[in-house]
Structure 1
C-alpha cells in the first residue's frame, strides 16, 4: 500500500510539473513520466493489458509525436500572440470550476470505502483474450478487416499516379 501512495505522489508531482513548466518540451517530457507512473498504477491494480496499452500507445506513440511536433514548431516568447482579457477571464472561470469539482471529489473520497475485487484475475491479459477470442470473435475479425482495408486505401491514396502530369 505504501508503494501505491508513493507512485500516486509521483503522479501528482509530475502532473503539476507538466502544468507549470515554462518550456513546452520539458512539459511533454514530464507528461511521459506521468504516464509511466500511470502504467505502474495499472500493474499494481492487476490490469496488465491497460498497462501495456498505456505504455505502447500513449508513451510510445502519442507523446513522442507531441515531442517531435513541439520541437519542429520552435516555440519561443517572440512568436507567442497576446491573449485578450476575455480569454483570461474564461480561463479563470474554467479553473474555478475545476477547483470546485476537485474539492467535491475529495470530500466524496473521504466517505467512500476502498473497492475490493471479487476476482483477482479480472484485469489479466489471459481473461481478456478468452473473452475477445471467444464471445467477441466475429466483431474482432470484422474490425481487423476494416482496419486492413483502411490501411490499403490510405496507401493507394498516398501513391502518385505515374501517368498524371507533374504540377509546379
Structure 2
C-alpha cells in the first residue's frame, strides 16, 4: 500500500553535530573549533539548551550510573540551582567584584579568581593564596545539600566523596 509519508534522511553532518553537542553536554570538553556548524554570531545556547532538554534524561541516567555523586556539564550549565560553595581557603571569585564576569563557571566552580594583580589594580578583593587555596564543596556534598542524590547513588559513594576539593589554579597556566 502506497503512502504519502516522506522519509526523513539524516545526513552525516547532523550526526556529527549531535555527537559534538552530546560531548559538550557530557563533559564540556569541546573546543570552539568543534562548533563548525555555527557562526561567530550564533548564540550557542540557542542550539545547545534545546538539545540538553531533548537528551537530558539519557545523559543523566548514563552519567549517574557511571559517575555517581557527580553531574554532567549540561546539568551544571542549565539545571544546577546555584554554584558550589566555597567552604574554606583564601581567595575570592572574580565575579563577586566584577559582575560582568557572572556565569563564568565550570561544573559549578568559578573559572576566574581574584589575583594579586586584580587587588593592586582595583584596590579591593581577596586574592587567592597559593599556600591556602580555596576549598570548594564536592559535587556529592552539593547534590546532598540540595537533596539531589538518588538512594542508589548515595549507597555507592565513599565518605571521601563528600570531602571539599582544593581549587587547583595550576591547570590554568
TM range (shorter): under 0.3
Identify, as 1 or 2, the structure richer in helix.
1
Question: How high is the TM-score relative to the length of structure 2?
Answer: 0.27
Q: TM-score, normalised by structure 1?
A: 0.28
Bigger CA radius of gyration: 1
The structure carrying a bigger strand percent of its residues is: 2
